[in-house]
A and B are shown apart, each in its own frame.
Chain A
Amino acid sequence: MTSSSRNYQLRRIPGGRFAVLTTVIICFLTSSTFMTARGSKPKRPQASEFGLGPRHSMDRRYVATLQPQQPLRRRHLQTIQVSITDAEGLAVDGATIAVDGGMPQHGHGLPTKPRVTKNLGGGLYEIEGVRFSMGGWWEFKLFITGTPGVDSVTFNLNL
């Protein structure tokens, strides 16, 4: 019993020190990152905010999912299909979708002017002319006007 308790302590102490050290380092890193972000550029969202969706629009009128023809790549002109449903999950057809975006930390928009070129039916739309010229955090925004109303959805993409 004594021996087991001692062993427990022996294992425990270095771990505790490590945890304290880690906490200190994380606090330092977090504070310096925060200072940089506050001082100069918009803060990158958490990892959970990134991805192709499904993603709710700002006022939750729509749910949009990006379906690239190939995995998203840097530099290449590419086509992305987007599936749009209403809040109940029903496909939204006949919507008008405007595309925008950019790199918030670099202060520039998309390098091209992508637009919806095909309404494929079943709530599926094809967006052509998308290019991500750099690596890093990109915002890809869709402004949707359809029967459920006017709303916008922003995807955070890591290229």
Chain B
Amino acid sequence: MTMPIATNRVVTAIVLVLMLTMASVASSRGVRWTTEQVHELSMLTLSALEPLPPDPTNRVADDPRAVDLGRRLFFDPRLSSTGIVSCGSCHSPDHEFQDDRPLGIGVGTASRRTMPIAGTAYSPFLFWDGRKDSQWSQALGPLENPAEHGGTRAQYAHVIVEHYRDDYERIFGPVADLAGIPFIAAPVDDPTARKAWMGLTDPQRNAVTGMFVNIGKSIAAYERRVEYAPSRFDRYVDDLLKSGHEPEGVLTRDEIAGLRLFIGKASCTQCHNGPLFTSNEFHNTGVPARPGLPLDVGRLAGARNVLNDEFNCRSRWSDASSKKCAELEFLDSDGQTLRAFKVPSLRNVADRAPYMHAGQLATLADVLDHYNHAPAASAGHSELKPLHLKVQELRQLEAFLRALSGGTIAANVLHP
């Protein structure tokens, strides 16, 4: 049956009005994503994070008993020269496992900012300069650093025998015989500790170092389970991917505009990519030097140091059955950049000012201003180019970064 002409026109008019209305709604929201952008977003959500990668260098990495022992050691201030500094002193679970300070404060003041712990199981190199290649070898660094825990491995072995013997032996077998081994002894700069260390026999040194390594491996087993919790950004992307429609009421218009800039014009995902918002690489971004500190060459030294590290993947202390350690094998130690520092994750970034490797920039707005202007590096060459973003765009980017806060979750309980 043929439709009367008048009816036909009315239907056409209604369809046109509907189409125009739909188009205007979509444009007033301003939240249309292209297929390519949706793909980019799908790679950033925490739901896209791969399962925890195995750590073949740490045989107890996934042993729940080691997780528990590691958690207690992490919060134990007896693992310090003063008896008041634990890993948790700077890596506070109440503060995203960092300390809100420009420079870490242990028994002294560190030369760099405390880094958060969540997600570090996914990083091939740790610290701002990547001088360690596993979580357990990283954990051992601060324990003997004179500005951080300030103690010695012999002291820590004694702490295990006195306070953790049963739990330790259930995981690692009998503790070493520490008879005759002084409390302060380690191959460190402190002359007293070094002299005592040189006075030990090889078997004694190996026994002490073996226990020290197991402390690190236990702490690492705990740290492996410090993870990021989903943020509003993740909920937005997950809803978008699931329903195929723009989720409403999850992100504000400014946050969405900021997200659009983040993956587009501002080029943030060049480095802050993947579900952890980091490439895990090292770059010179022209961050100013912190007055009062000696020149920090960053990755230039870190790449060399990790190859020679006493506790690296190739070392006798690593549990990797094959000493084929690809990250070390293909590391370009000669091609590293002066003053290149680790690309940090941006998850929870709004909750951990100040920023950069020595807390040089106080606020997120300062950080965005730095990237927008791209100043010359104090040493070496900055890889940044000015972004020429408007004030409103910077504000939108900041709004988006604030939507990346979802907190941190840790194994068992958060507190000791």
- B332 beta carbon closer than 8 Å to chain A: yes
Cβ of B373 to closest chain A Cβ, rounded Å: 15
Q: CB within 8 Å of A: which of B97-116?
A: none
Task: Determine the residue in chain A with the shortest Cβ distance to B122.
Answer: A75
Q: Are B280 and A75 neighbours in the complex by a CB distance under 8 Å?
A: yes
CB of A107 within 8 A of CB of B383, answer yes
Query: Smallest CB–CB gap between B334 and chain A, Å?
Result: 8
Which 4 A-B pairs give the minimum distances between C-beta atoms? A129-B330, A133-B281, A113-B332, A112-B330
Min distance, Cβ B348 to any Cβ of chain A, angstroms: 20
B326 touches A135 (CB 8 A): no
Residues of A within 8 A of B330 (CB): 77, 112-115, 128-129, 131
A4 → chain B, closest Cβ, in Å? 19
Is A74 close to B, CB under 8 A?
yes
* Interface range for B: 20 to 34
Q: Does A60 interact with chain B (Cβ within 8 Å)?
A: no
Q: Of the candidates A77, A107, A112, A135, which one forms a contact with B332 in the assembled complex, judged by CB atoms under 8 Å apart?
A: A112
A135-B269 in contact given A106-B383, A107-B383 (Cβ < 8 Å) = yes
Q: A107-B383, A112-B331 are in contact. Are A133 and B280 (CB under 8 A)?
A: yes
Chain A residues 114 to 134 lying within 8 A of chain B, measured CB to CB, are 114-115, 128-129, 131, 133-134
Report B-chain residues with C-beta under 8 Å of the C-beta of A75: 273-274, 279-280
Distance between Cα atoms of A41 and B269 in the complex (Å): 19
- Is A7 among interface residues, defined by CB-CB distance under 8 A? no
Chain A interface size, under 10 / 10 to 19 / 20 to 34 / 35 or more = 20 to 34
Asked whether, in the complex, the Cβ of A135 is within 8 Å of the Cβ of B385, the reply is no
Chain B residues contacting A131 (CB-CB under 8 Å) are 330
Q: Is the interface of A mostly helix, strand, loop or mixed?
A: loop
Other-chain contact of A134, B124, B279, B326, B329 (Cβ < 8 Å): B279
Excluding A109-B335, A113-B331, A128-B330, 10 further A-B contacts by CB distance (< 8 Å) are A74-B273, A75-B273, A75-B280, A77-B124, A77-B327, A113-B332, A128-B329, A129-B326, A134-B271, A136-B270
Q: How long is the Cα–Cα vector from A74 to B330 in the complex, in angstroms? A: 16
Instruction: Tell me the chain B residues, 262-292 only, with Cβ under 8 Å from chain A.
Output: 269-271, 273-274, 279-281
Given contacts A112-B330, A113-B330, contact A135 B335 (CB under 8 A): no
B337 within 8 A of A: yes
Q: Considering the chains assembled together, what is the distance between the CA atoms of A108 and B329 in angstroms?
A: 20
A10–B326 alpha-carbon span in the complex (Å): 66
CB distance from B28 to the nearest CB of A (A): 23
CB–CB A129/B270 < 8 A: no
A14-39 contacts to B, CB under 8 A, are: none
Contacts of B279 in A (CB 8 A): 74-75, 133-134
Rounded to whole angstroms, the CA-CA distance of A1 and B124 in the bound complex is 74
Q: Mark A96-118, 1 if CB is under 8 A from B, else 0.
A: 00000000001111111111000
Known: A75-B279, A106-B383. A128 touches B270 (CB 8 A): no
CB distance from B336 to the nearest CB of A (A): 9
Give every chain B residue within 8 A of A41 (Cβ-Cβ): 385
- Say which residue of B273, B326, B337 sits within 8 Å of A77 (CB atoms): B326
- Can you list 9 residue pairs at the A/B interface with Cβ under 8 Å? A40-B385, A41-B385, A74-B279, A77-B327, A108-B337, A112-B331, A113-B330, A113-B332, A134-B271
